[in-house]
Amino acid sequence: MPVLGYVLIQTAPGTSAELVRSRRIRGVKMANSVFGRFDAVIVISAKDMDEFNKIMYEVVERHPNVVHTETLLAIPYPDTREPVRPPPETTSTVVSFHCPSCHSLVERGSAFCNFCGLRFQ
């Protein structure tokens, strides 16, 4: 199950820019310094909770200037998109065989050979 998390971070004063550089890390969708109760917001997208925790560690936990974090996990919602249908068949398959008399290719179901005129049963 994919995991999307909004990580709200309080840092030591003036150090949020260091965290924002973590936007280069794979799985970090966004990283911004912000005004308000927190200093930075990082959006992490991972294929599962395991990967999410690894990214969290890389981005946040080993960072010495992080004072406090609050992680908001997005609630998964059912996929309501229409299932993708294959495009309609644009080519048809013609099954053919070799005429026993002249060896020309003849479409199966033909009553006679178009080339030599041999009648088929």
Would you give the DSSP letter of residue 60? Answer: I
Instruction: Tell me, rounded to whole angstroms, the distance of Cα 38 from its chain centroid.
Output: 31
CA 15 – CA 87 distance, rounded (Å): 53
Contact flags string 43-82 toward Zn ion, x per CB under 5 A: ----------------------------------------
Binds Zn ion by CB under 5 A, chosen from 99, 108, 109, 120:
99
The distance of closest approach from Cβ of residue 101 to Zn ion in the complex, given in angstroms and rounded to an integer, is: 4
Helix, strand, coil fractions of the chain, as percent rounded to 5: 20, 30, 50
Binds Zn ion by CB under 5 A, chosen from 12, 25, 96, 101:
101
Residue 112 in the binding site for Zn ion (CB under 5 A) = no
The distance of closest approach from Cβ of residue 93 to Zn ion in the complex, given in angstroms and rounded to an integer, is: 22
CA 20 – CA 59 distance, rounded (Å): 9
* 46 vs 99, beta carbon nearer Zn ion: 99
Backbone angles phi, psi at 50, to 5 degrees: -60, -50
The stretch among 38-46, 51-59, 70-78, 91-99 that binds Zn ion (CB under 5 A) is 91-99
Number of residues that bind Zn ion (CB under 5 A): 8
Helices marked H in 21-91: 49-56
> Residue numbers of the site for Zn ion (CB under 5 A)?
99, 101-102, 104, 113, 115-116, 118
